Structure 1
Amino acid sequence: MADSDGDYVEELSDDETAHQVTRGGGPGTRSRKRGGLSSRRGLGGGQSQRKARWEDLQRSWDTVVEGADGSINSTVVGLLDAGKRKRSLRDTTPLQRGIIRHLILVLDLSSAMAEKDLLPTRYLLTIRYAQEFVREFFEQNPISQLGVIGMKDGLAVRISDMSGNPTEHITAIQQLGVQEPKGHPSLQNALDMVRAVLYHTPSHGTREVLIIFGALLSSDPGDIHQTINSLVNDRIRVSIVGLAAQVAICRELCMKTNGGDDSTYGVALNDSHFRELVLATTTPPVTRSAKMSASSLLMMGFPSRIVETQASLCACHSKLTKGGYLCSRCSSKVCSLPAECPACGLTLILSTHLARSYHHLFPLRNWLEVPWNDAGKSDHCFACQIPFPPVPDEHDRVSAATAVNSGTTTAPLAVMAVGTTTSVSSRYECSVCHNHFCIDCDVWSHEVVHNCPGCLSAPPPAPEHLHNGTAAMANGSLVSGDEMELG
């Protein structure tokens, strides 16, 4: 029996003529035209066939380039390396930044955080990323202080006080996991509490707020615009990470408190983007005003650790401990550093804390991608000694480039060109010492140690001018003798 669709004729109404549906060509093709008639053999001469929206699908696996063995393992590795390279590429312009920071983390604990668009829920994912943020914040800013505030039931609740001990904040945030989000958030009440907490902070430090906001409304008791003006007068910067959609009052809040810059307000697209927006706040902000850029002297103490034979009470928690640090001014014992002496108020830190904060002022330069022409200078990574891929001849390079451009998979080196931000030779060169490193050492050097292993292991330069046994180092520091002539 023949297909009855070919003989089917239907009169269409005026509303239906606005929607022309075209199905695939063939004997049973049926297309609706303006005249209400259907054709047995599809669209006739000269008329273009219009595809449905669901027919224009772009599959992610269609663009995957296979290797010579038919697998995509090398392609997956290339995509992972591209993600690592993207994280390490940052703005390395040396700018004046406030390395002594006072930041308040505000968490949305309202019923809007119970949504499951971010698995397992917005609430549980926020708690996990908040703990990662606390660890990373004190890793990058060891001489700064942090406090945590929550928003629920139209009120602002205190989660942890302002302190420099990350363990206290992480423990307080973990206890939120047993609670349930409820009520509506209140930005105004949270910002008023933030102003009260940051009111007594010293002027040499920055005042910042990071808000993780998952709702689309704010239950405020008064005019929030007055609160925004108060934040501007108090020099408090606000950064917001939205989880639902962009809210006009959040954008205005970030723009006014950051000198017209609204880049501190972002809406998370997925869980990985959410994590990037949260951890981006670990970098100290740039000082914009002349008052903040003015130099000021700050007295600090660098105590040494002591171990007592008998336990004694510490001045910070009133707990019996045998180990601790004695204040350089009043000899009061504190448990951990960095901290502020509870007795005299002196800032107590270690020299390593100050050195770890210094890298923000002079960040490590981004390393350059090494082409195949210069890849023959090295066969292994300078830091971890992992072997690099061998340098192919000119014929294989041209074949690989042709295979990638044409989409074929016959060339063995086609998979190595996946990702526009990765090096085709898997080598990255420091512009100072000109040593070659792998992608893992690139990320480790830029995100963890903030120094180049090749530059640190280079021998010191020879003394330039010697007079009567006097030696001058390259940086101009005097080593010995009475006379020194700097080059």
Structure 2
Amino acid sequence: MADSDEDYVNSSGDEAGAHIVSRRGAGGSKGARPPSSKPKVQKKEAWEDIKRSWDNVVEGADGSINVTGLLEAGKRKRLLKDTTPLQRGIIRHVMLILDLSIAMAEKDFRPTRYLLSIRYACDYVREYFEQNPISQLAVLGMRDGLAVRVSDMSGNPTDHIEAIQKLRLDDPKGSPSLQNALEMSRAALFNAPTHGTREVVIVFGALHSSDPGDIHQTIAHLVADKIRVSVVGLSAQVAVCRDLVAKTNAGSTSTYGVALDDKHFRELLIDTTIPPVTRSSKQSSACLLMWGFPSRVVETTASLCACHSRLARGGYLCSRCSTKVCELPMECPACGLMLVLSTHLARHYHHLFPLRNWVEVPWSEAGEASACLACQVVFPPVPEKGGEEWGLPAKTERGTSVSSRYRCTECRGLFCIDCDVFCHETLYNCPGCQSRERTGGGKEAPNGVPAVAAADTMEIDG
């Protein structure tokens, strides 16, 4: 250090973390900089505050790990959502845009972003038509600075899944182009009816976009056409994507998320299958739709269907022109009448009036039932002197019940965590409320809506 011009002087005491750099020579003391009295506090970014699941794992005395509470917390996390009845657009027209650029070749999502996106896109198609059976969907891709059409607008999930799976034969290449993909989506949604919603869902893995023009003009056109955009990012938050989502969703950026891992990636994508809330007064106005409800027929000899020109003995006859189609829901190829089943409309009911969240049951009320009302699984026994006297809390901080019991606020029935998840994610009805309605014990529908309002009628053609 003899040849060095500067010496590092480490400070101690109250000046910890600061250092003084002095220069050799007569004026060394004058050139010294005193340490700052107020230490600089750096603001943490949102991605720096990471909550790891293994931080809350409790190890028992025998060395075993208790993960039951973590599993219940993960189940309940999906249920604690807003259940306020809102008007939603149940007839949807969605353009799913997949990033097929070279950025999807990264392996931070196993096996690669490209293969994982294809697999989750197939799951998205199945879940989308499960939740929205009378809606339409099309799939686009972005590669080489262009927008490529993967599948056309259709209500048949099988066609979309087959087209998406064919992408496995290709490799990601080139750069994505958001503007070209949005312009193609806007052209495809131009003829969508006004009583339905127009939406675009983008899976974006790159940090840049190769656009031929000004993308902000395209965003202004999307706002004018009332097209909503949702983005699922795989790399980091991009300013143009945030601006795109905010302007097309009335200033809200809740539909833009960046995936932290593969599980979070799937959650963000599946969340877009829920119909959006209707904001436009024009869309909320009542309109009469002409739908047909055909019955299935089985013929003695095979005949061609009008939708695929395939020989089949079974099918459905249009209630207006008697044209044969092989599957529903579908628009009649001859007269244009929308053909659906009554179960398709009934499946949309839970979006308009969702099942209310069930509450946790403390130990003081756990003795009302010894088994689940739905599956008859035996509950854990209640301590003799009560849970609170044994030092057990009435509720946990995560929304899970320490007594493993959950109560419906309408029928007051007690259920286990598995039935709670099943009723809120698959059945969308409460078994206790349903049994009470069948026996005439109540005057309300399963989710608290008056029975008269829950049986609205609809005029249809056919």
In structure 1, the partner of 2:310 is: 319
1:329 and 2:307 matched: no
1:88 and 2:65 matched: no
Residues 79 and 418, structure 1, Cα contact 8 Å, conserved in 2: no
How is 1:68-467 mapped onto 2 (pairs within 5 angstroms)?
70-72=63-65, 75-394=66-385, 397-401=388-392, 420-458=398-436, 459-461=438-440
Task: String of CA shifts for 1:199-227, please: whole Å, max 9, x gaps.
Answer: 11111100000000000111111111111
Please state how far the C-alpha of 1:64 moved relative to its aligned partner: 3.1
Task: Identify if the C-alpha distance between structure 1 residues 18 and 172 changes in structure 2 by more than 3 Å, giving closer, same or farther.
Answer: farther
Name the SS for the 2:351 alignment partner.
coil
Q: 2:57 aligns with which of 53, 56, 64?
A: 64
What stretches of structure 1 move > 4 A for 4+ residues in a row? 9-15, 32-36, 58-63, 67-70, 395-400, 416-419, 474-477
Residues 363 and 386, structure 2, Cα contact 8 Å, conserved in 1: no
Name the SS for the 2:422 alignment partner.
helix
Residues 85 and 354, structure 2, Cα contact 8 Å, conserved in 1: yes
In structure 1, the partner of 2:9 is: 17
Name the SS for the 1:107 alignment partner.
strand
Residue identity matched to 2:58:
V
Residue identity matched to 1:266:
G
| TM superposition score normalised by structure 2 | 0.84
Name the SS for the 1:17 alignment partner.
strand
Please state how far the C-alpha of 1:16 moved relative to its aligned partner: 3.7
Name the SS for the 1:225 alignment partner.
helix
* Percentage of matched positions with identical amino acids: 66
Residue identity matched to 1:163:
S
Please state how far the C-alpha of 1:394 moved relative to its aligned partner: 3.2
Residue identity matched to 2:369:
S
Residues 78 and 418, structure 1, Cα contact 8 Å, conserved in 2: no
Task: Identify if the C-alpha distance between structure 1 residues 420 and 213 changes in structure 2 by more than 3 Å, giving closer, same or farther.
Answer: same
Distance, in Å, in 2 between the alignment partners of 1:443 and 1:366 is 10
Distance, in Å, in 2 between the alignment partners of 1:279 and 1:15 is 59
Please state how far the C-alpha of 1:17 moved relative to its aligned partner: 3.4
In structure 2, the partner of 1:42 is: none
Gaps of 5+ in 1: 1-8, 21-31, 37-57, 403-415, 465-473, 478-487
Residues 97 and 201, structure 2, Cα contact 8 Å, conserved in 1: yes
Task: Identify if the C-alpha distance between structure 1 residues 13 and 432 changes in structure 2 by more than 3 Å, giving closer, same or farther.
Answer: farther
Residue identity matched to 1:65:
V
Residues 315 and 324, structure 2, Cα contact 8 Å, conserved in 1: yes
Residues 79 and 419, structure 1, Cα contact 8 Å, conserved in 2: no
Deviates more, 1:130-139 or 1:455-464: 455-464
How well do the aligned residues superpose, as a CA RMSD in angstroms? 2.8
Equivalent pairs counted in the alignment come to 415
Task: Identify if the C-alpha distance between structure 1 residues 368 and 13 changes in structure 2 by more than 3 Å, giving closer, same or farther.
Answer: farther
Name the SS for the 1:253 alignment partner.
helix
Distance, in Å, in 2 between the alignment partners of 1:420 and 1:299 is 47
Task: String of CA shifts for 1:17-73, please: whole Å, max 9, x gaps.
Answer: 3699xxxxxxxxxxx99799xxxxxxxxxxxxxxxxxxxxx997664334465522x
Please state how far the C-alpha of 1:426 moved relative to its aligned partner: 0.5
Name the SS for the 1:156 alignment partner.
strand
Task: String of CA shifts for 1:326-375, please: whole Å, max 9, x gaps.
Answer: 11111111111111111111111000000001110000000000000000
Distance, in Å, in 1 between the alignment partners of 2:175 and 2:154 is 28
Residues 143 and 164, structure 1, Cα contact 8 Å, conserved in 2: yes
Distance, in Å, in 2 between the alignment partners of 1:463 and 1:419 is 34
Distance, in Å, in 2 between the alignment partners of 1:439 and 1:13 is 69
Distance, in Å, in 1 between the alignment partners of 2:254 and 2:214 is 24
Residue identity matched to 2:422:
W
In structure 2, the partner of 1:411 is: none
In structure 2, the partner of 1:484 is: none
| TM superposition score normalised by structure 1 | 0.80
Task: Identify if the C-alpha distance between structure 1 residues 400 and 192 changes in structure 2 by more than 3 Å, giving closer, same or farther.
Answer: same
In structure 2, the partner of 1:413 is: none
Please state how far the C-alpha of 1:288 moved relative to its aligned partner: 0.6
Name the SS for the 1:312 alignment partner.
strand
Please state how far the C-alpha of 1:90 moved relative to its aligned partner: 1.2
In structure 2, the partner of 1:469 is: none
Name which structure has the greater RCO, CA cutoff 8 Å, separation 6+. Answer: 1
Task: String of CA shifts for 1:383-419, please: whole Å, max 9, x gaps.
Answer: 11111100013376544549xxxxxxxxxxxxx9876
Name the SS for the 1:192 alignment partner.
helix
Task: Identify if the C-alpha distance between structure 1 residues 229 and 322 changes in structure 2 by more than 3 Å, giving closer, same or farther.
Answer: same
